[in-house]
Amino acid sequence: MKVNAKKMAEALSLEVLVPSPREELEFEAPDQNRPGLQFSGYFNHFACERMQILGRAEMTYLDTLPASVRAVRLSTFFTYEMPCIVICRNLGCPDDLRELAQAHDVPVYGSRQRTTRFQSEAMLYLSNVMAPRQTLHGVLVDVYGVGVLLTGESGVGKSESALELVKRGHQLVADDVVDIKRVSETRLTGESPEMIRHFMEIRGIGIIDIREMYGIGAVIPSKSIDLVIHLEHWVQERTYDRLGKVEETTKILGVDVPRIVLPVRPGRNLAIVIEVAARNHRLRKMGYNAAKTLDDRLREMASKGGNDA
């Protein structure tokens, strides 16, 4: 995946030691490589497609090599295509490394941070930038710390439900369009496109600004997606789940997210039901299932009744 070189340097507070005309750097993964083994002459399984990070150990080891050996090792090192090199601890860039980097068009950056600290920050940044993304039609709200994604056809009442939740003290993340990214194998986060952030469309009224109307505490820039609630118009002939014994899921970017189908009809207070769903989700995450508890009580009662007989 291509990453903007200038934005990466600004985000990680990097100094450009060897510039490159490339505006974008190609990374296959957010992982990094510390090329100590390569400087020792072992180039098998060299992860050259990763960011190459040089710390005190690598730079000190290079200084211990005879000039002829060092020249061979560095020349071999630069025969591999790599996105960039970062030298940590403000150690500077040696002249021979600079010349080879310029000859092979490999940008070299400098960081003042300790090597392990920089590795952590670089991993977080690249993981975020390179995360798989998807845009969905829906509304994302933070309800009692649970990221609830409201989905459903247009006009079913997603925005109105979210507005009532905001009035009840919860926070809006995104209305109408939700940008979703997978930040780990099991975790999704959602946010609003910057152009429409904090705005909401209410039919009959128009566009309203939630932040200006309800204050900065009524909005939040991003939130994990923990629960999907699908709103649909009530269908009399359809059988809806009344016990909640079986947990339904939906797949977003390869991640299974718990999903509830909530029927909508006049007179039903959706905001309260969504609050209850969020609380119940938190209880389930903590290991408590009300439907299972009730089922266990009924089984126990039936068992006692059978014994009494």
297 is catalytic: no
Residue with tokens 């994990």: 224
Instruction: Supply angle C-alpha 231, 232, 233, rounded to 5.
Output: 135
Please choose, from the candidates 27, 20, 75, the residue with its C-alpha nearest in 3D space to the C-alpha of residue 49.
Answer: 27
Which is the catalytic residue, given 34, 158, 198, 230?
Answer: 158
CB-based contacts of 131, cutoff 8 Å, min separation 6: 181, 182, 183
CA distance 85 to 135: 33
Burial of 244 from C-beta contacts in 10 A (0-12 / 13-18 / 19+): middle
CA distance 108 to 83: 10
158 is catalytic: yes
Which is the catalytic residue, given 96, 176, 211, 259?
Answer: 176
In a 3-state reduction of DSSP, which class is residue 260?
Answer: strand
242 is catalytic: yes
Which is the catalytic residue, given 6, 56, 137, 187?
Answer: 137
209 is catalytic: no
CB atoms within 10 A of CB 194: 8
Which is the catalytic residue, given 45, 63, 238, 242?
Answer: 242
Please choose, from the candidates 23, 28, 9, the residue with its C-alpha nearest in 3D space to the C-alpha of residue 85.
Answer: 9
**Residue numbers annotated as active site:** 137, 158, 176, 242
